[in-house]
Structure formats: structure tokens, C-alpha cells
Homo-oligomer: A and B are copies of this chain.
Amino acid sequence: MPEDSNLLLSMYKTMVKVRQFESMAGEYFAAGDIPGFIHLSIGQEGSSVGICSALRDDDYVATTHRGHGHMIAKGADLNKMVAELFGKATGYCKGKGGSMHIADFSIGILGANGVVAGGLPIITGAGLSIKYRKTDQVAVVFFGDGASNRGPVHEAMNMCAIWNLPVLFVVENNQWASTTPQTYSCSVGDLCTRAAGYGIPGVAVDGNDVLAVREAALEAVARARAGEGPTFIENKTYRIRGHFEGDPQKYRKEAEVKAWQDEKDPINRYTKLLTQKKLLNKTKIQTIWDEVKAELDAALDFAKSSPFPKPEDALNDLFSNPY
């Protein structure tokens, strides 16, 4: 287990950042300041932060419709993120993408994806490109339990396996795919068991234990950098919010959600651990939450004070070589 306390604390701060970002997004969406629809990852911070804590800036990540946490954990700029959610010209995608289509290629984030499992073929290409360019980068794709049943998952796992590509398949099994329970949609309980069918090491991890996730990621990353090929990691976690903000959620009981909060909550659990380790105490915690809040408020000010794109800008950015 990593003993560098700065690292442990920075992971904590990142988890808080994701949590506060998502809560903020929920509020502003409810208030009508964020157009379209957004999918929040509250309760899944152990997965996003644990995995990305094992990555370098030049490693690649392909994320999903529920990707804010992955973006932030990989080091995305909060100003540009909030601005993009607000549809502002200063956002990551100049307002063209929105929550479901954010990316930051400067830090290897190949993009969120509105198509479930859409990231898997793309990450295979990123892995292949790493192999061609003979670098020691790794490429990580996040996807959900629902996504795991789509065809591209099969093709990508087979291809990454036969070519031994430096890829991490990270399935965030949060028990639900929209209204559909994982127990109904998947023919196996542990999705990681499918890895064996490709000769890929597969591991199930307590996704709400950020350090356990980090451990699994470190191992997989080491294997990938050493040219030993892909790894399949299943982070067992839970989606606390609705599938999208505004989801009526008739498909599950309040009690089920409650059961995953409080002591099962990844941030609460990590807080307790770091407190035992004497790395955190009430005041330190308060400071961190306040620092994050300040950062987020600044990002909100930036977004709010930013202009909307000019309508005609809709015609830009289609081609690199326009005609």
C-alpha cells in the first residue's frame, strides 16, 4: 500500500473535488443553468480517482457519458469543464460538446462518449498506436456494466489480447444500467470472469475502496508498461444518483440506495482510514473541502461570466482541412 502521505491526501482532495463538482452540476442542472442532460458519478469516486492515480499525464483515457470524475481525476481544468457544461465559448469544446462530449487531448483524455461502449474500439487504437510508436504509455477505457454487453467489448478485448496492447479495461459495475439491473442484463455476476475467455487477467475490486482500486491499477499499469498486455478490472460500486438528473427511478427502492451511502460511501471510508492514519482530522478535512469549494466557485464564476458561443461558430471545427 502506498505510504506517501502527500499522495494519499491529494487523492482525497481529488475525490472531494469530484464529489463537489458532481453536486454542483446537479444543483445547477436543477436550476436550469445546464442544458441537455447530465449523468453524475457520485458514489463512484473510488473508481475514477483510484484508477487515474496510477496514470501519468501522457497516458490515455477514454471515458463515458458518466465521465466527469474520470476527467477531473486525470487532471482536467475545472474552469473549462464547468464552462462546457454551461455551453459557454470558453468550455473545453467551445460549447459544441457538453457534458457527454468533453475531452482534453493535452492530458490524454480522448473523450467522453455518448455511445455506450464507444470508447473500447478507440482505446484499442490508442493502444496499437502506443505499440507502433514504441512508447511506454498506457491506455485506459472506462465503461459500465450495461456497456459490457455490447459487441465492441468483445472485439476490443480479443484484439488487445492477441496484440498484447497496453490497455486497461475498467468496467464500473455500479449495479444499474439506466433502469436495468446488472443481475438481469449480464449473464454472469462477476464481469471479470469474462476476461478468461481472452486470456486476459481479470480482477474484481471493491470499487469504493480507493486504495484497493489504486493497487489493482498499479499492477495493471506495470504489466502494460512492461509489454505484458491488457488487464480487465471490475470496480464494484454503486450509482447513488439517478441515471440522469431528473430520473424518476421507479426501478429501485430508496433503501437500496441508502445501503450504499454512509459507511459504504468511498469518501467516508477513505476519510475514516486517513483519520486513523492521522493524516486527516476535522480541521484538515474542513480546509480541504473549503479549498475545493473555493476552486469550484472560481470555476463557476469563470463559467458564468463567460460568453455563449456566437451562433455562426457552429459552422467551425468540422474539418482540419476545410474546403
Task: List the interface of chain A (C-beta within 8 A of B).
Answer: 149-155, 157-159, 161-162, 184-188, 193-200
Contact = CB atoms under 8 A, between A and B. Distances in A.
A188 B199 CA distance: 6
Nearest to A195: B197
B150 A162 contact: no
A158 B155 CA distance: 14
Contacts of A196: 193, 196-197
A154 B153 CA distance: 8
A174 to B, nearest CB: 18
Nearest to A163: B187
Dominant secondary structure at the A interface: helix
A185 to B, nearest CB: 7
Given A149-B154, A149-B155, 18 more contacts: A149-B158, A149-B159, A151-B152, A151-B153, A154-B155, A157-B187, A158-B186, A161-B187, A162-B185, A162-B187, A188-B197, A188-B198, A188-B199, A194-B197, A194-B198, A195-B197, A196-B196, A196-B197
A27 B83 CA distance: 69
Contacts of A194: 197-198
15 contacts: A150-B155, A151-B154, A151-B155, A154-B154, A157-B187, A162-B185, A187-B198, A187-B199, A187-B200, A188-B197, A188-B198, A188-B199, A193-B196, A194-B198, A196-B196
A150 B150 CA distance: 11
A128 B118 CA distance: 27
Contacts of A150: 151, 154-155
Nearest to A152: B151
A184 B161 CA distance: 11
A244 to B, nearest CB: 24
Contacts of A187: 157-158, 161-162, 197-200
A158 B188 CA distance: 9
A153 B154 CA distance: 8
A127 B87 CA distance: 47
The 3 closest A-B pairs by CB, nearest first: A151-B151, A154-B154, A161-B187
Contacts of A197: 187-188, 193-197
